[in-house]
Structure 1
Amino acid sequence: MAEYMKEQEKPLATETDPIDVEESNPPFSADRTSRPRWRCIICCGCCAAILLILAMLVLILMFTVFRVKDPILRMNSMKVRGLNLLGNASLRPDMNLTVEADVLVKNPNYAPFKFSKVTTSVHYDTFVIGEFVSPAGRAEARKSVRTNVTIIIMVDKVSQVPRFRGDLGEGILPVSTFTGIRGKVKVTDVFKKSIFVQMNCTMNWNLSSLAIQNRNCKSTRVEF
């Protein structure tokens, strides 16, 4: 009976007494679930950055290395040998009249420009009075190649031009030249382009001074 009374005298736990629950039910750890999420975000960010860099690199290459530019034709020099013969009233087919020209092919691309035969012709009014075909060639990447052209003028055709007598009296023959070159620039199997470039030059042959005057040349690309 005395023992029963002692147990009854023991105070009960109050609401204010602290209760230690760490041993039986530990709190939820946020670090364990947030780490995989952050790793996924970092991985996705790195992949997106790499793809963005690759896209920018391809875009830069398309506007620089992979961009195919038009080759440039340039007439460095031109000479007419036998121009004094045109002052003769009686022109004969056996008269030796030649045009010597130095044509430059400039390749601004990062790949070689392979071209076929180069055709150069001399025109007086609407008549072709001379023509020359140069062999095929190759202009290396960002380099130039020179082609020497020698055109034999058909004197009998010059005399057949209706305006020749009038131009002969003035001592000036307005002539023009045409140079056409066809080729291909191949950077890769995807980035390649066929190109046809032409150069038109106008000038005056002075029969008194035996000089070429007012020479003006323009190089353009022809779509085909």
Structure 2
Amino acid sequence: MDVEKANHSRKRNRTCCCIGTTICIIIAIVIVVLILALTVFKAKRPVISYDNMSIKELDASFDITKFKVHLNLTIDVDLSIKNPNKVGFKFSNSTAFLNYRGQLVGEVPVPADEISASETKAMNVSLTLLADRLLSDSDLYSDVKSGVLALSSKIRLSGKVKILGLKFHAVSTSSCDFSIYISNRTIADQTCKYKTQL
């Protein structure tokens, strides 16, 4: 009888030891996963940077009789999108915008893409000013006559980062104010702002 009790007690101790060890291992795994999720694999915001802006096409002429300006303008914009995450960032179709005095005067689609972990991807967009949108703008005549045209551009990328089976929504926005100097066909006074949300 004592032998049976001793065997039963040993089995019980072994069972308790196995259960305790299993619980400790599970807790350790959960702690390691949490530490990785909060450090190495923590979702970080992708950043869009304006690297270079140049005038691809510029033609401005006056119609004095009608007090109008004929303007053709295309700007090449070199962008870079940095993904600081240890996993890929996939963004959906987007659009780059060109504005004049708060009015939308040009837009170009930015196709959906994926950026690998810790990669910086270069991108080029050509923004064309749609002159027909400015036919009724009286400020355009005086701005072109002065030789300086103040514009702004904006791009917003919306996508997802998948970390340890969880999806994080990320939005990166970049905008630049700049001036076109018509006489020497240059871009100056560039001020850019970058904003990201996770």
- TM-score if structure 2 supplies the norm length? 0.77
Instruction: Structure 2 unaligned segments of length 5 or more: list them.
Output: 1-9, 64-68
Distance 1:222 1:166 in 2: 39
Q: CA deviation at 1:215?
A: 1.0
Distance between the aligned counterparts of 2:177 and 2:29, measured in 1? Answer: 49
Aligned residues: 179
* Aligned match for 2:62, one of 70, 76, 89: 89
Query: SS of the counterpart of 2:145?
Result: helix
**What is the Cα-based RMSD across aligned positions, in Å?**
2.7
Q: Deviations over 1:39-83 (max 9, x none)?
A: 9xxx8x999986786565334312223311110001111112233
Say if 2:53 is the partner of 1:78.
yes
Given that 1:197 and 1:220 are in contact with CA atoms closer than 8 Å, whether structure 2 keeps it comes out as: yes
Q: 1:126 aligns with which of 102, 105, 117?
A: 102
Which structure is richer in relative contact order (CA contacts within 8 A, separation 6 or more)? Answer: 2
Q: Is the counterpart of residue 197 in structure 1 residue 197 in structure 2?
A: no
Q: Which amino acid aligns with 2:33?
A: V
* Structure 1 stretches of at least 4 aligned residues deviating more than 4 Å after TM superposition: 45-56
Question: In 2, distance between residues paired with 1:54 and 1:182?
Answer: 33
For the residue of structure 1 that corresponds to 2:138, the secondary structure is coil
Q: Distance in 2 between the 1:183 and 1:213 partners?
A: 32
Task: Give the counterpart letter for 1:82 in structure 2.
Answer: E
Equivalence for 1:218: 193
2:162 is aligned to 186
**Equivalent of 1:63, from 38, 59, 68?**
38
Amino acid at match of 2:119: K
Residue pair 2:45, 2:197 contacting (<8 A) in 1 also: no
Whole-Å separation in 1 of the counterparts to 2:115 and 2:32:
27
Paired residue secondary structure (1:97): strand
Residue aligning to 1:151? 127
Compare the two structures and name the one with the higher strand fraction: 2
Deviation at 1:139, TM superposition (A): 0.3
Query: What percentage of aligned pairs have identical amino acids?
Result: 28
TM-score, normalised relative to structure 1: 0.69
